[in-house]
Structure 1
Amino acid sequence: MNLLRSADELFAIKSAFLNQHNISNGRFTVLLLLSAAVDEGEAEPPARGPAELAEMAGVTRATMTGLIDTLEKDGYVRREPDPRDRRAMLVHVTPKGEAFTNEVLPGYFRRVGTIMAPLDATEREELLRLIMKLREGIAAAGAVDLPPPSTV
């Protein structure tokens, strides 16, 4: 119950912050995924396919299409044909999307830092290790066949 309560509270804090910037959690996640290479020292943000973005974000392809549609309408991303596969599209963050992300990230990271501040480096590593173990358990639980409910 403590884990579920903590997750709900984390989501509420994140949602409240993102609402102040008029962006949904899903749309923000897409912008973060598209902006990731800049943090890794690349010259420009990577272009990614919608299917790759959906897998990285843990959402369906249909959900990702809706997120990209809205971000494109707002001018934060653009789609263009994949030069290696004419049937596929790539999604790029636009300068407007980069500027928005750069404006929002400092406040976002301050909140994350405040949340994580009570943990020292060893505890943060241990927390990550335990979360990864939980994710393994969650994946395994999704594959378990449950008996049908009784019809008594």
Structure 2
Amino acid sequence: MNSDFNINADPRKINLLTEKFPNVDSRSLNTLVLFVQTAHEVYNGVSSRLSEYGVSIGNLKILMPLYLYDRSLTPSELAEYSGVTRSTVTSVIDKLERDGIIRRSTLTDRRMTAISLTDEGKQLMTERIPLFIQLFSDLMNEFTQEDHDLFATLLQKLSSGVERIKQE
């Protein structure tokens, strides 16, 4: 994010916005901007570290259920487990198949595609999964148990707010 337009860095910038939009709560706006900036930094930081291992967040969303369930999954199951669209899953599967990490096969009725890890994919996950988990865990190692509980509660409230504005 361009540091010239870092709203959170200067409360006066938030005040300028709330002067123009008097119905906006400056504390809510400031907190949301801080959250969005932090989420962006977390995503970029994790993405950067994962790329050092030749894996992207999108790849990991597909590889993780295959590794954890240790069986073939359909593209629809992978989309459901990973929380992404079926078309996104298809493009990630195409890339991972080209890279030799997963393979496609057909299920018994031959109408459904089954996706599974190749030996190379299993090795990648077996060797790298502890590193991935440690990376994610390290992001939160400053938190106490109370911090974790409070943060989870606040994120659930934020999620409820997102659902509410989707309905409006």
- TM-score interval for Structure 1 and Structure 2 normalised by the shorter chain: 0.7 to 0.9
What does 1:83-94 align with in structure 2 at a 5 Å threshold?
83=108, 85-94=109-118
Please tell me whether residue 128 in structure 1 is matched to residue 152 in structure 2: yes
Cα drift, residue 7 of structure 1 = 0.5
1:76-133 CA distance string (max 9 Å, x none): 11111122x4311111112211111122222222222221111122322332333233
- 1:46 equivalent among 71, 76, 96: 71
Query: Of the two, which has the highest radius of gyration?
Result: 2
Identity %: 29
SS in 2 for 1:9: helix
Count how many residue pairs are aligned between Structure 1 and Structure 2: 136
Gaps of 5+ in 2: 1-32
Letter in 2 for 1:14: V
Higher helix share: 2
Query: After superposition, where does 1:1-12 map in structure 2 within 5 Å?
Result: 1-12=33-44
The structure-2 alpha-carbon separation of the partners of 1:126 and 1:86, relative to structure 1 and needing over 3 Å to count, comes to: farther
For residue 61 of structure 1, report the CA deviation from its aligned partner. Answer: 0.9
Q: Deviations over 1:4-62 (max 9, x none)?
A: 0110111111111111122222112211121123xxxxxxx022110121122222211
Residue identity in the other structure for 2:60: F
Write the letter of the residue equivalent to 2:122: E
TM-score, normalising length: structure 1: 0.79
TM-score w.r.t. the length of structure 2 is 0.72
Runs of 4+ in 1 over 4 A off after TM superposition: none
Equivalent of 1:27 in 59, 65, 76: 59
Matches within 5 A, 1:82-121: 82-83=107-108, 85-121=109-145
**Structure 2 vs 1, CA of residues 140 and 87 (structure 1 numbering), >3 Å: closer, same or farther?**
farther
Work out whether 1:16 is the aligned partner of 2:48: yes
**Alpha-carbon distance between aligned partners in 2 of 1:82 and 1:115, rounded to the nearest angstrom:** 39
RMSD: 1.8
Aligned to 1:41: none
1:2–1:54 CA distance, 2 compared to 1 (3 A): same
Whole-angstrom distance in 1 between the partners of 2:136 and 2:68 = 17
Q: Which runs of 5+ in 1 are unaligned?
A: 38-44, 145-152
